[in-house]
Each structure stands twice: as structure tokens, then as C-alpha cells.
Amino acid sequence: MLIRVEYSTRYDYERAPHFVVQVLRKTPRSCESQHVRRWAIESDVDARIRQSEDAFGNIVHTLYSEKPVDTMTISVFGEVDTSDTGGVLQGWPERQHALVYLRTTPLTAADEAIRDFASGFGGENGLEQLHALMNAINDRIGFDTGATGVSHTAEKAFALGRGVCQDHAHIFLAAARWLGVPSRYVSGHLRRSDGQVEQEAAHAWVEALVDGLGWVGFDPANGLCPDENYVRVASGLDYLGASPVRGSSYGGMGESMSVQLRVHSHPQSQHQQ
């Protein structure tokens, strides 16, 4: 499937900052399940953009604007050919030892309630175990865009019983790592099956290390493994390590942010199917 992504983030300032730095993890790379046909990042202000790679193999662009700006928009657009590999990730550069992904973080710590929940998913078959965990989180945690924010922990979201894809992913990570399964947070894009093109934010899911298969994706927010509708962009220990945008500014005041995101299959791809 040929998926097109159009993603813009706009910043408005009550008082213009003197200096802005934005770290962008918005660029996918090719692997067995996806081939990046074209991809571009642009800004509507005078800025320098430097490309690098972080410790997890993610493509990172760092944007520097050294002049006062009242508004700034960062735009991303591109096309990716995707295929269904049953959720198995192959061809992605692995920069860290698998044991690194057993590390807990403040966002993914497993409290007693999560540990009790996870203890019901022990077993010898790791793949079945993780599918059961994914489905149980999907059943237990209702999708609610107004219940949590980006700083909510797995513990808080689990207690609420509501959250967004970020929360589903953090709860899975907390439970899986407590079970001794190396797991990581993944950010990217999802072509929705209901035809909804306009989306409020990027998507999030997880990958866990399964004996005999390697890294396998699980999407507890939707209760399925990633297929040709998914575009993988970045991964890390939690949301902070894979978030599309993180940044800071100096000297400004009153920053507000708005996002416009469109994810859809290319008409040419639909015609060919």
C-alpha cells in the first residue's frame, strides 16, 4: 500500500522568542515492511535543519531558529510503500543490546496494580503471552482523548482505566518488562480503516522481543499487530524517547501549539489494488 502523510505543527507566541530549538523524530526509514519513496521536512521561518541519528537508530532533525519569530510552522510530507509482515520487524538497524529495553522509566514503571495484572500472562509461549497481554489492555483501558496528557504515567492511566494510544503503549511496556520481556515504544502513523484521513496526533504502539521471531509489533490501542496500514517512524524506551517533537525556546512567552495531520492511501495505490 502507498501511504501519504502530511503533517504540520504550528507554534504561536504571545512574545517572540529570541532562539528556538526543535528536535524532530518525524522521518521514517526503509525496512522490510516499508519503503520510503520520498520524504521532506520544511519550515516557514529562517532556520537551519541538521540531520543526525540518535542512540536508537532513529533519524533526527534538529531545527535552529536564531531570529525572533511570532509564529513558526514545521511541515512534513512524504509517501511510503508498506506491506504486511505479520507485525515482525526486519531490516531496521539495532543500535542497542536487547537488554536495554528492560529498563524502566518514570512513564513506564509498574506499580503493584500493573504487576498483579501482568502476573496473569505468564507462560512458555512468548507470542501467545504477548497477544493475550495486548488484548487484555485493549479490553481494560478505554480510548478517551480527554482523560490523560503526555505526562501521565502507566500507573495513572491504568488506575483511570482510560487513555490514548500513548497510555496503552506505556501500560504494555510496564507489564512486559516486569515479565522480563524486552519491549520498546514506537511512534508512527496509522492509516485508519474507517476512512478518517484527518487525525489529531501521530499513533503509538510497541515492539517486544519474541524468541525465534525477533522484534514483533503490538498495538494495544487497537488490539492488533501492525500491518500494511502502519508507517513506523521512531522508537525508544517511552514516549519521550520517540516523540515526534521536543524542543525549547529562549526569551519568549505564551507558546501555543496546533497540529494538522493527514494520513491516507495514495489514489494511485487504490487504483492498483
pTM listed for this prediction: 0.92
Q: Would you place residue 147 in the very low, low, confident or very high pLDDT band (cuts 50, 70, 90)?
A: confident
Buried b (16+ CB within 10 A) or exposed e, 40-57: ebebebebeeeeeebebe
User: Which CATH number describes the domain made up of 98-242?
Assistant: 3.10.620.30
pLDDT for res 247: 80
Cell numbers placing 243: 516523540
Per-residue pLDDT at 18: 84
- Angle between the N-to-C axes of helices 126-140 and 165-178, in degrees from 0 to 180, rounded to the nearest 10: 140
Sheet holding 214-218, edge to edge: 214-218, 203-210, 183-190, 230-236
Mean pLDDT score of the chain: 92
Q: Where are the beta strands (DSSP E) in the chain?
A: 2-15, 19-27, 34-43, 48-53, 59-65, 71-82, 142-143, 162-163, 183-190, 198-199, 203-210, 214-218, 230-236, 245-250, 253-265
Q: Residue 35: what pLDDT?
A: 97
- All three cell numbers of 181: 520481556
User: Which residue, 118, 146, 150, is CA-closest to 220?
Assistant: 118
Tell me the per-residue pLDDT of 1-37, one tens digit each, with 9 for 90 and over.
Answer: 999 999 999 989 888 888 889 999 999 999 999 999 9
The per-residue pLDDT for 273 is: 38
Query: 72 pairs with which residues across the strands?
Result: 11
Q: What is the CATH number of domain 2-82+244-272?
A: 2.60.40.2250
Give the amino acid at 197. Answer: V
C-alpha torsion sign, points 100, 142, 240, 28: positive
Ranges of each domain in the chain:
2-82+244-272, 98-242
| Poorest-pLDDT segment among 9-13, 201-205, 252-256 | 252-256
d(C-alpha 123, C-alpha 119), whole Å: 10
The string of pLDDT tens digits covering residues 40-51 is 999 998 889 999
Span 75-134, pLDDT tens digits: 999 999 999 999 999 999 999 999 999 999 999 999 999 999 999 887 666 899 999 999
pLDDT in tens, 159-175: 999 999 999 999 999 99
User: Exposure of 99 by Cβ count < 10 A (0-12 exposed, 13-18 middle, 19+ buried)?
Assistant: exposed
